Amino acid sequence: MNAKNVKGGLHLLVLEGDGIGPEITAATLAVLRATDAQFALGLSFETEAVGWTAHRAGGTTFPDAVEHAAKAADGVLLGPVSHNDYPPRSEGGLNPSGELRKRLDLYANIRPARSREGFPPRCGKNVDLVIVRENTEGFYADRNMFMGSGEFMPTPDLALAVRKITREGSTRIAEVAFKHAMQRRKKVTCVHKANVLRMSDGLYLECTRAVAARYPDVKYEERIIDAMAALLIRDASVFDVIVTTNMFGDILSDEASEIAGSLGLAASLNAGSAHAVAQAQHGSAPDIAGKNVANPASLIGSAAMLLAWLGERRGDDKLVRAAATIEAALDRVIAEPAGRTPDMGGELGTDAFGKRVAEAVG
Sites of contact with ligand ATP (CB under 6 A): 19, 80, 82, 84, 263-264, 282-288, 294-295, 298, 343
| Alpha-carbon distance values, 277 to 34, 107, 294 (Å) | 20, 11, 21
State which residue, 176 or 293, has the beta carbon closest to ligand ATP: 293
Q: Which one from 64, 85, 226, 317 is the annotated catalytic residue?
A: 226
Q: Which one from 107, 140, 204, 215 is the annotated catalytic residue?
A: 140
Residue 59 CB, shortest distance to ligand ATP, in Å, is: 21
Q: Which one from 74, 201, 240, 254 is the annotated catalytic residue?
A: 254
The burial of 156, by beta-carbon neighbours within 10 Å (0-12 exposed, 13-18 middle, 19 or more buried), is given as exposed
Residue 83 CB, shortest distance to ligand ATP, in Å, is: 7
State which residue, 55 or 172, has the beta carbon closest to ligand ATP: 55
State which residue, 17 or 169, has the beta carbon closest to ligand ATP: 17
Give first-to-last CA distance, the chain, whole Å.
31
State which residue, 120 or 362, has the beta carbon closest to ligand ATP: 120
Residue 358 CB, shortest distance to ligand ATP, in Å, is: 17
Strand order in the sheet with 269-271: 43-47, 10-15, 75-78, 276-279, 269-271, 108-114, 128-134, 241-244, 187-192, 219-224
Q: Which one from 74, 240, 250, 343 is the annotated catalytic residue?
A: 250
Q: Which one from 71, 179, 193, 355 is the annotated catalytic residue?
A: 193
Query: Helices 350-361 and 297-314 sit at what angle, rounded to 10 degrees?
Result: 40
Residue 273 CB, shortest distance to ligand ATP, in Å, is: 28
140 among known catalytic residues: yes
> Smallest Cα–Cα separation from 95: which of 60, 49, 138, 133?
60
250 among known catalytic residues: yes
State which residue, 18 or 74, has the beta carbon closest to ligand ATP: 18
Query: Distance of alpha carbon 85 from its chain centroid, rounded?
Result: 21
Residue 361 CB, shortest distance to ligand ATP, in Å, is: 19
The answer to whether residues 349 and 20 touch, using CB atoms and an 8 Å cutoff, is no
- φ, ψ dihedrals at 224, nearest 5°: -80, 140
193 among known catalytic residues: yes
Q: Which residue blocks in 225-296 are alpha helix, DSSP H?
A: 225-235, 246-260
State which residue, 192 or 282, has the beta carbon closest to ligand ATP: 282
Return d(Cα 154, Cα 264) in angstroms, integer.
40
Sign of the four-CA dihedral 285, 298, 93, 138: negative
Return d(Cα 15, Cα 18) in angstroms, integer.
9
CB burial readout 128-154, b (16+ within 10 A) else e: bbbbbbbbbbbbbbebbeeeeebeeee
Residue 155 CB, shortest distance to ligand ATP, in Å, is: 29
Find the residue with minimal CB distance to ligand ATP.
283
Return d(Cα 154, Cα 89) in angstroms, integer.
19
Residues that are catalytic: 140, 193, 226, 250, 254
